[in-house]
């Protein structure tokens, strides 16, 4: 059976855009943003540095230093724009690809590498950064985010939660349940969906017959589609949605329309399922190039600035490589740590037995 996937999608969705791929600033009646030169340069720096972190991580995986890596290439603007919209009191719930948001929350990038190197399952304290651990099962974290938002309500605090997920996750029951919960409890949450067009090998048409942002109306809250490669628009739209959430106006679904320029992870081969011309088309919408053009055209930055950011990226990359390799391997008895908050007779027994077993090799 052939299904016309465009059925139901007849209305061309409006895309909030404030910066064109050519670096032209455009106005939007509902979502404008006033950014000074310093702020734009700062966003540019963020974009370049997180792309470099990503590039280094891919290289480290290729060199056998990481087991796997999930690249954010192409999604820098969606992550930096939304990440920089957060206040310290807001709480972010990422997938496993939110390296850019992690950067905005001051999580040391080497801690992200630890997970993919197999040193641990998540090496940062979520409370310290208000950035939850990476969640690998698709969509589970959206419910955690809504529950957390319900806690914010009960604390009468001025804060919001933001839940990150992808286009594939929108098919998960948990994500749909989280929409229902957020709606009926009017929870202070922003659902930030990075629609990067691909769930590993499955194109968007396998997940939906309508634009994803329109799903929100069925759940009873606003949905909006933003140019996910436009850091200005992502910042403006997320900032407004978070403000609405904090002010008691409930949830918003943001669909950041973007593109996964790399593979799903380093184990994936996109040439098996998508054509090269698609990538070439999206390269013209690169999230970093348009900010660079904007800065150049408006004489907000000179070559010295761009060179200094490149130099900083080089230093960051070198530092990351060095510290990744220096990361100590966990000890075998670490297996038994933190399973429970206190002593547990079976865990303790197995730890002791395994320690004795290991000692047998040393004699």
Q: What residues are annotated to the active site?
A: 260, 264, 273
Query: What minimum distance in Å lies between the beta carbon of 353 and other proteins?
Result: 12
**How many CA atoms lie less than 13 Å away from 335 in the CB half-sphere?**
11
Footprint of other proteins on 341-360 (CB under 8 A): 341-342, 344-347
Interface with other proteins (CB under 8 A), residue from 43, 149, 231, 288: 149
Query: What minimum distance in Å lies between the beta carbon of 152 and other proteins?
Result: 7
Query: What minimum distance in Å lies between the beta carbon of 29 and other proteins?
Result: 35
Query: What minimum distance in Å lies between the beta carbon of 63 and other proteins?
Result: 26
Residue whose pair of structure tokens reads 């709480």 in the numeric block: 91
Structure token pair of residue 144: 């955690």
Q: Between β-strands 198-199 and 202-203, what pairing exists: parallel, antiparallel or unpaired?
A: antiparallel
Query: What minimum distance in Å lies between the beta carbon of 180 and other proteins?
Result: 5
Structure token pair of residue 27: 């106005």
Q: How many CB atoms lie within 10 A of CB 252?
A: 25
Helix 37-62 to helix 231-246 angle, to the nearest 10 degrees? Answer: 100
Nearest to 196 by CA among 256, 259, 121, 132: 259
Contact between 339 and other proteins per CB under 8 A? yes
Contact between 297 and other proteins per CB under 8 A? no
Contact between 120 and other proteins per CB under 8 A? yes
CB 99 within 8 A of CB 112: yes
Contact between 86 and other proteins per CB under 8 A? no
Contact between 322 and other proteins per CB under 8 A? no
Q: In what order do the strands lie in the sheet with 223-227?
A: 91-93, 161-166, 189-195, 252-257, 223-227
Q: Please, where are the H alpha helices in the chain? A: 37-62, 76-83, 99-104, 109-117, 126-129, 140-155, 173-184, 215-219, 231-246, 276-283, 289-297, 303-326, 345-362
Interface with other proteins (CB under 8 A), residue from 47, 58, 143, 256: 143
The residues that bridge with 225 in the sheet, in sequence order, are: 255
Which range binds other proteins by CB under 8 A, 176-184, 217-225, 227-235, 293-301?
176-184
Contacts of 22 (CB under 8 A, 6+ apart): 290, 293
Which range binds other proteins by CB under 8 A, 63-71, 146-154, 261-269, 304-312?
146-154
Query: What minimum distance in Å lies between the beta carbon of 307 and other proteins?
Result: 39
Nearest CB to other proteins, comparing residues 5 and 347: 347
Nearest to 248 by CA among 142, 113, 153, 111: 153
Which range binds other proteins by CB under 8 A, 12-20, 71-79, 144-152, 218-226?
144-152
Contact between 121 and other proteins per CB under 8 A? yes
Nearest CB to other proteins, comparing residues 66 and 291: 66
Contacts of 51 (CB under 8 A, 6+ apart): 72, 73, 76, 288, 313
Contact between 144 and other proteins per CB under 8 A? yes
DSSP 8-state assignment for residue 339: S
Interface with other proteins (CB under 8 A), residue from 44, 96, 148, 198: 148
Which range binds other proteins by CB under 8 A, 23-31, 135-143, 193-201, 227-235?
135-143
Interface with other proteins (CB under 8 A), residue from 24, 106, 125, 314: 125
CB 149 within 8 A of CB 191: no
Q: How many residues bind other proteins (CB under 8 A)?
A: 45
Contact between 337 and other proteins per CB under 8 A? yes
Interface with other proteins (CB under 8 A), residue from 96, 164, 165, 181: 181
Which range binds other proteins by CB under 8 A, 178-186, 229-237, 253-261, 276-284?
178-186
How far apart (Å, rounded) are the C-alpha atoms in residues 164 and 54? 18
Enumerate binding residues for other proteins (CB under 8 A): 120-127, 132-133, 135, 137, 140, 142-155, 161, 173-174, 177-178, 180-181, 184, 337-342, 344-347
């Amino acid at each position: 059976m052939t299904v016309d996937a465009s059925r139901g999608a007849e209305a061309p969705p409006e895309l909030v855009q404030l910066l064109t791929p050519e670096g032209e600033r455009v106005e939007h009646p509902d979502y404008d943003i006033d950014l000074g030169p310093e702020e734009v340069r700062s966003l540019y720096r963020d974009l370049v540095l997180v792309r470099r972190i990503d590039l280094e991580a891919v290289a480290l995986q290729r060199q056998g230093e990481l087991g796997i890596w999930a690249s954010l290439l192409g999604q820098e603007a969606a992550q930096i724009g939304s990440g920089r919209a957060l206040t310290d009191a807001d709480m972010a719930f990422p997938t496993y690809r939110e390296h850019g948001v992690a950067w905005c929350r001051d999580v040391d990038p080497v801690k992200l590498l630890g997970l993919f190197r197999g040193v641990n399952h998540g090496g940062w304290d979520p409370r310290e950064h208000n950035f939850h651990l990476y969640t690998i099962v698709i969509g589970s974290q959206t419910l955690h985010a809504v529950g957390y938002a319900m806690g914010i309500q009960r604390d009468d605090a001025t804060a919001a939660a933001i839940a990150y997920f992808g286009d594939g996750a929108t098919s998960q029951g948990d994500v749909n349940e989280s929409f229902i919960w957020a709606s009926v409890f009017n929870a202070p949450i922003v659902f930030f969906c990075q629609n990067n067009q691909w769930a590993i090998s499955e194109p968007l048409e396998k997940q939906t017959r309508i634009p994803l942002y329109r799903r929100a109306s069925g759940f009873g809250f606003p949905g909006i589609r933003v140019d996910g490669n436009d850091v200005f628009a992502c910042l403006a739209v997320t900032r407004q949605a978070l403000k609405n959430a904090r002010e008691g106006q409930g949830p918003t679904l943001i669909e950041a329309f973007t593109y996964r320029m790399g593979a799903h992870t380093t184990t994936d081969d996109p040439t098996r399922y998508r054509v090269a011309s698609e990538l070439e088309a999206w390269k013209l919408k690169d999230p970093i190039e348009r900010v660079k053009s904007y800065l150049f055209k408006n004489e907000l930055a000179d070559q010295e600035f761009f060179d200094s950011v490149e130099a900083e990226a080089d230093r960051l990359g070198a530092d990351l490589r060095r510290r990744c390799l220096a990361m100590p391997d966990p000890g075998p008895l670490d297996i038994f740590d933190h399973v429970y908050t206190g002593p547990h007779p079976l865990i303790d027994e197995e730890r002791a037995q395994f320690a004795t077993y290991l000692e047998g090799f040393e004699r």
